[in-house]
Amino acid sequence: MPTILYKTLSGRKRTGMSIGEAIRHLTLGEMLQGAAELVAVLTLIVAAIIWLIIRIQPHPEVQVGVALYAYERGSTLEARTKTSLSRMQDLVANCTLWEFPPALVKNHTKIADLQASVLSKVLLGNVSDQSLTNIRLGVVSRLHGGSTKVSASQNLDVTGKLESTSQDGLHKYVISIATLEPKSSAVLSLQTPMNDNLQRVLSQKHITVRLPSVFLSADQLWNVHPTVAPIDAPTMLKRETELRTGKKGMPVAEMIESGLLDPSVSELNVEDLSYRLLPPAPVCQEGAGGQLVEFVKTNN
């Protein structure tokens, strides 16, 4: 019984009134306050029951894996020859997955058109027998920011935005996915353009890049924090290519252009951006699974 009604009826009973008389003598204000307390108590009970049901019922099984990369692309200029530059580094293992040309820094070689970014690739797997709808996947890391963009390995309705930044510099980037079918998976790629802060951090000699923490919710899931498994960097890239092309074992295709510039072309006098390259890292050990990258050359 709500507190106000209990106290009122108990007090009047002590004066000799029966329970029926005490109830008939309740004022409108006492009844309204008692009703409000009763509604509040019932609301708490219902909320507790719902919470228990959600906690007790089995959740759809979801698996989350992550790999982190630094990707640089631009051009090398040597005399009048302009050639595409492409380099992919595994930030977790601190090694180079591929590099074209094989030796980027040479005497009389200039770097131009350099565009670098940090890539966080998240493999989200729905191993249950039911679809997941209205998914919210939060990725918390220092590697993201307001300029981060998200894309998916296949035709998924995916959007993303930076929601908050904590005092210790961790950014929470939230990805919204309309539907993930049962027994299916997707690779979500978060691409953040390299800025001065990321450049400074990733250029340090001894750096440990930590995997992001993740939270997940959906219509079928309460807010959960799944275990994030590190995925071998080549394995993630091959899985993404397989989901995108529908063909297993396909290497990543990197378009490479090479050609001669006219002596009058202004590109010969552009600023050398070699200083913006990340420090070289040792070549990653080759794993099983065949060729990782195929350089597709075209002449311009």
pLDDT single digits (tens) 110-155: 899 999 999 999 999 999 999 999 999 999 998 988 899 999 988 8
> Over the chain, what is the mean pLDDT?
83
Nearest Cα residue to 229 out of 64, 107, 105, 114: 64
**Can you give the pTM of this predicted structure?**
0.78
Determine whether 295 is exposed, middle or buried from the number of CB atoms within 10 Å of its CB (0-12, 13-18, 19+).
Answer: middle
Using pLDDT thresholds of 50, 70 and 90, give the confidence band for residue 3.
low
Give domain limits for the chain: 3-56, 62-299
pLDDT for position 31: 61
pLDDT for position 18: 61
Distance (Å, rounded) from C-alpha 268 to C-alpha 79? 8
Residues 6+ away with beta carbon under 8 Å from 21 = 12
Share of the chain above pLDDT 90, in %: 41
With residue 65 as reference, give the H or E element that holds it: strand 62-78
Q: For 4, phi and psi rounded to 5 degrees?
A: -65, -40
Residues 112, 75 contacting (CB under 8 angstroms): yes
pLDDT for position 7: 55
Distance (Å, rounded) from C-alpha 74 to C-alpha 111? 7
Using pLDDT thresholds of 50, 70 and 90, give the confidence band for residue 47.
confident
